[in-house]
């Protein structure tokens, strides 16, 4: 599967945020600030995950267009399963 550059960019930003949190921990930042940053990281990862699943679903639906309703239903169920598993 081809991953969009915007998703990769989001994940690189998350990578930087994680390094920032580690630095905050090393310097003794207050718990509230660390938790706020970790919540932001989780939110960013969730958004990246949703974009990946949505993109995959779009691709699967276009590939199964001629395969019929059963194939489309299967693709949708798989996308929902991926989203549920990510939580």
Contact 34, 68 (CB under 8 A): no
Report the percentage of the chain scoring pLDDT > 90.
48
Average pLDDT, the chain: 87
What are φ and ψ of residue 70, in 5° steps?
-65, -40
Residue 85 has pLDDT above 80, yes or no: no
Contact 75, 48 (CB under 8 A): no
pLDDT of residue 11: 96
pTM of the predicted model as reported, rounded to 2 decimal places = 0.76
Instruction: Report which DSSP code applies to 87.
Output: -
**62 vs 53, more confident:** 53
Q: How many residues are there in the chain? A: 87
């Amino acid at each position: 599967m081809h991953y969009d550059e915007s998703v990769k960019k989001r994940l690189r930003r998350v990578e930087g945020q994680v390094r920032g949190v580690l630095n905050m921990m090393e310097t003794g930042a207050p718990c509230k600030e660390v938790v706020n940053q970790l919540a932001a990281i989780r939110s960013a990862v969730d958004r990246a995950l949703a974009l990946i699943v949505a993109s995959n679903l779009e691709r699967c639906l276009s590939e199964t267009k001629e395969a019929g309703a059963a194939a489309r239903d299967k693709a949708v169920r798989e996308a929902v399963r991926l989203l549920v598993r990510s939580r």
